[in-house]
Amino acid sequence: MMAYVSLCCLAVTLFCCIATNNANIPHEREVELELAERILDLLEDNEKRMNKKYPDQTPEDLVAEAERKGQEALTEDYELKYHHYVTGTDKLSDGTSYADAQAAVAYIDYTPAHAEELDNKTTVALNALKYILDETDISLDDLLKADHQYKKGILEAWEKTFHPEKYRECTVEEKNAAYRPIDGSCNNVDHYDWGKSITARSRFISKPAYSDQHGLTSPRKAKNGNELPSARSVSIAFARYTQDLENTPLDDLRTVALTGWGQYLDHEITDTALSSGYGGAVIECCPLSKEERAKRPQCIDIAIPEDDPKFTNDSCMECVRSAGTLTDFRVPGPRQQINDITAFIDGSSSYGSEDERADELKDKTTGKLLEKRPGFPPEDTDPDACVKKFTLENYYCPKAGDRRSSDISHLTVYHVLFLRVHNDLVEKLQDMHSNWKPERLYQEARKIVGAILQQITYNEWLPLFIGQDMMRKHKLTLGGPFRYDKNLNPSITNELATAALRIGHTLVTGSMKRMNSSFDIMEEQQNRNAFLDPYLTFRNAPEVMRWMTTAPAQKSDRFINLDFIDFLFSNVDASSPLDLMSLNIQRGRDHGLASYADVYEKCGFGTIDDWDSLNHHTLDVREALKKAYPGVSAKDIDLFPAGISETITDEGGQLGPTFACIFADQFKRIKFGDRFWYENDKKATPGSKAPFKSSQIEAIREVKLSKLICQHYGLTEIQEDAFIQPGVGDRKSCSDIPGLDLTPWTKEGED
């Protein structure tokens, strides 16, 4: 308002000056008149803005009508889902096995009931918001400024409509809890849902890159409005290794154990729910015509090019949108995605991220995790839990805290390992504290397991990804002073979960193997024949782990093994074309990930104006990207392919600068935004106590993955760093590697 008054005064002054000016100075008079006219134009624009004609309805009536429109959209979607279910397009499990490869994907990206409720609520909210923005002809950003009474009225009515309940606050008991809640709630006592399961992911770039008029939901397009190239076309041109279709280059330092840990960690902190059909049916898009697919908001299927080198008889690759949510339903906003599990490194892979799952896995009489046979998880009786295509005694689908435990053998062996670690800790703590009840034994062992996972991740794994320079710069190195930051949101960013952390896909070898004590290969199983099949782990888990700690991982580069490019889940259903690289790219567009250029700029590396501006890509990679993205500019490249192909900048790491930037930001949040972090030796709240005592922290700092492997898989020799390939003389007797000293947990060390 003050600016408006000032402009009025300036205009009046100018006209007065012009009226009294000497008419013999025409040039000055023209300049003054021009300036006065410009000010009048500004005044007119400002008047229009201030007196914008809003709908005749009250804000309350507008939001009520918008909510009705949203409910209509949800009803239409429900009817469409029902139609595709009864006509057989969408399928429920037949109770014996996966219906097809898309059903396997749907099982992995399981949609819990709470996530499905959020997805439905989001359908209503986004359609309502679109109606409001259309009717008022204002942008979302403008609405959120609340600089007009009508806008304020809309926001107040929105909150009453979409989030009428009071914002959840943490109770005194939750604030002073001795152990983490399973679902991660109230880790931050001022923000109960930061890092909690079944909540919205956060973003490194706060505003999603959606392509619809209001930027609410439609997958990203090129900046000029054109369609981006098919994700499969990009995959073929950029990530498919054509020199030797069976093998891509190997890493000269890191082992397969590092790759497996990366996937295990991924499943510790990220899990994306897919949209589901009627009654939880698996949504299928490709059987429908192109016109029918366009009517289904969940379908973001991938076009397969006519000259595809593998999928010669297919034109469509299945891809279904992730389930949606809003960051906070109290405030209108764009579509976000759900993280089904906690954002913390807390052992959720073993224990689950919801009470129901945790109870299913717990032996309440002992505090141990349940076993079907000694040292192995209980059986998951869900017919879709895994694939079993071999004959073997005691061979079944294992049930763990995370549903994806059977994805691939180098993941399953870690699930078995930490079940054994937990149960061993319970036995030892029971010997030390005969008066402890089973629940306390369970919680104390769970707390130690979480701390061990943090120690291995930050001390052994993360430095081999981002390098020591980034570790020091962002204070990620363990052992220094720790200060919990209650203002740091640990929630997982979309950029990490949907792009940067998936760099691990470039490191996976084409097969899994068993290796005996003489380091001879005993058995090899190609991944294309073993997806979702835990056979090798049940055949001989120690031999799988011995191979993992010996064999090289694939090199970190832009190439992904052919088993994942052309044969993903082919052992489940060879007729369904799936490609992991394509799915990664399409998922990024689905989630509204900003382009590589935008993230690069956000990290502070400058701007990318053209192909020559790709300063962290070699010339041959630039040319490959240019070939993969015809008809669009360098500003439009997807984050994932550009990120995995950056030149590694930190010696000792395996990330380029942009992915290292995303990693560092996230792992700083995970560490310093977790009040239960194992190094936090101070009270986070007045009535609580530190997670561990100083002596216990020092004991945990001595833990090495190699020692755990020795203890629980019966190996007798191993190199001290399980993630680095052993050189001549590097292997040592397991007895020479220090382990976790539980002395600080004795009665004497308790007070």
- Say what the pLDDT of residue 18 is: 46
For the stretch 565-593, pLDDT in tens is 999 998 887 778 999 999 999 999 999 99
Tell me what the mean pLDDT of segment 149-165 comes to. Answer: 94
- For residue 652 the two structure tokens come to 């000792």
Given a cut of 70, is residue 40 above it in pLDDT?
Answer: no
- For residue 306 the two structure tokens come to 């006519």
The answer to whether the beta carbons of residues 699 and 742 sit under 8 Å apart is yes
Q: 749 versus 584: which is more confidently predicted?
A: 584
Distance CA 342, CA 670 (A): 11
Distance CA 560, CA 573 (A): 21
Given a cut of 60, is residue 722 above it in pLDDT?
Answer: yes
How confident is residue 383, by pLDDT bands cut at 50, 70 and 90? confident
- Say what the pLDDT of residue 31 is: 52
Chain centre to alpha carbon of residue 231: 19
For the stretch 51-109, pLDDT in tens is 556 888 999 999 999 999 999 999 999 999 999 999 999 988 665 555 556 666 666 66
Given a cut of 50, is residue 703 above it in pLDDT?
Answer: yes
Helix axes 705-713, 535-548, angle to 10 degrees: 140
Say which DSSP state 696 is in.
H
What is the maximum span of the chain, computed from C-alpha positions, in angstroms? 108
The answer to whether the beta carbons of residues 698 and 451 sit under 8 Å apart is no
To the question of pTM greater than 0.85 for the whole model, the response is yes
Chain centre to alpha carbon of residue 409: 22
- For residue 361 the two structure tokens come to 């896995």
SS3 55: coil
DSSP string for 453-469: HHHHIIIIITHHHHHHH
Tell me what the mean pLDDT of segment 398-404 comes to. Answer: 95
Distance CA 699, CA 697 (A): 5
Mean pLDDT of the chain: 90
The answer to whether the beta carbons of residues 379 and 483 sit under 8 Å apart is no
Distance CA 140, CA 125 (A): 13
Task: Identify the CA nearest to 226 among candidates 604, 633, 531.
Answer: 633
Cα separations in angstroms, 513 against 153, 730, 739: 64, 22, 27
Helix axes 409-432, 438-456, angle to 10 degrees: 130
**Which residues fall within 8 angstroms of residue 435, CB to CB, at 6 or more apart?**
none
| Sequence-distant contacts of 4-7: CB under 8 A, at least 24 apart | 4/43, 4/46, 4/50, 7/39, 7/42, 7/43, 7/46
**Tally of CB atoms within 10 A around 517:** 12
Given a cut of 50, is residue 747 above it in pLDDT?
Answer: yes
Say which DSSP state 346 is in.
S
505 is in an annotated binding site: yes
For tokens 């034109």, name the residue. Answer: 315
